[in-house]
Structure 1
Amino acid sequence: MQIGELSKRTGASVRMLRYYEEQGLLVPTRTDSGYRVYQDADVDRVARIRCMLSAALPSGVVGQALRFLLDGRAVIPDEPADRARLAETLQGELDTLTEKIAALQHSRDLLATIVADVRGELVGPGRPGDPGGAVVRRSVRKAGPAVGRARGAGRDTDR
């Protein structure tokens, strides 16, 4: 099949398929006129590439994993040293991904707090019910006319 057909069958854009080729993740054969030709097995390969890349694995790690999982044998490496290297590389990527997830969760929690504060017309530390025991104060109020202040209050107008 040609690149357009592979794109349709996998959902990957033609541009992405060319990128996978540039990275050495996908190796089509070429016709005499230079057209790329893909095999049916490349549909599964592209699905695995997309899955690993969406898990934030760098293309070099994806290539290493594909070498062991798809290229000629669909098994884990036989040599203990090869298995250990692959496992160490993948564990490092898993650890990095776990750290990113924790950081994103923290950011999500902060954003959820800000959204709740904005909806409650209060932003910043000292929200009501704050278990940290901070002093309750409004640091930002909803836009609009000042409430509870007489016009000209705070100015020396009582002469």
Structure 2
Amino acid sequence: MRIGELAHRAGVSTRALRYYEEQGLLASERTLSGQRIYAEAAVERVRLIQQLFTAGLPSRTIVQLMPCIETGHASHEAFELMAAERNRITAAMRDLAAARDALDRMIDIANHPTPEHCPALREPAWSPYHAADSTTPIPEQAAAI
């Protein structure tokens, strides 16, 4: 089947299929005119690739897992690889939860400002400038020096 038909049947874009080929996840034959031709089994393979992407696996990891998937025998290394990816996702979720919590605090401060968090609410909000208190020359003094 041609790339358009595979894309339609597998529910992905033709661009995704080209990407899968570039990453070594999918193979095609070429016609004399250079058009891609895929085997019937490519539909199921593309759906599986989509499931692995949905599970959060990057293409480089999927490439490493494909030999196990193709043979139906998972190696110890494949399980370690999937566990490492799960740990990576879990850490990213923790980081996102911490960012969300920090944003929630900022939203609460914005909704309920206090002098501690908002300089405009402090008494006085700013201090007047006193030339006698300053050791830094003001522009007129600097020009005269």
**TM score, norm. by length of structure 1:** 0.66
SS at match of 1:26: coil
Residues 1-159 of structure 1 aligned to structure 2 (within 5 Å):
1-69=1-69, 71=70, 73=71, 75-77=72-74, 83-118=75-110, 120-122=111-113, 137-140=115-118
Structure 2 distance, partners of 1:116, 1:39, is 56
Instruction: Please give the alpha-carbon distance, in whole angstroms, between the structure 2 residues aligned to 1:8 and 1:117.
Output: 49
Q: Deviations over 1:82-131 (max 9, x none)?
A: x111111111111111111111111112122222332x232xxxxxxxxx
Aligned counterparts of 1:108 and 1:52: Cα–Cα separation in 2: 27
Shift of 1:37: 1.2
Higher relative contact order (CA 8 A, sep 6+): 2
Structure 1: any 5+ residue segments left out of the alignment?
78-82, 123-135
Query: What SS class does the counterpart of residue 33 from structure 2 fall into?
Result: coil
Q: Which runs of 4+ in 1 moved over 3 A?
A: none
Deviation at 1:141, TM superposition (A): 8.0
Q: 1:37 to 1:141 in 2, by over 3 A?
A: farther
Q: TM-score with structure 2 length normalisation?
A: 0.71
State the identity %. 34
Structure 2 unaligned residues grouped into runs of 5+: 129-145
Kept in 1: contact 2:49–2:62 (CA 8 A): yes
For residues 17 and 121 of structure 1, the distance between their equivalents in structure 2, rounded to whole angstroms, comes to: 51
Aligned length: 125
Cα-Cα RMSD: 2.6
Contact 2:109 2:117 in 1 (8 A): no
The structure that has the greater radius of gyration is 2
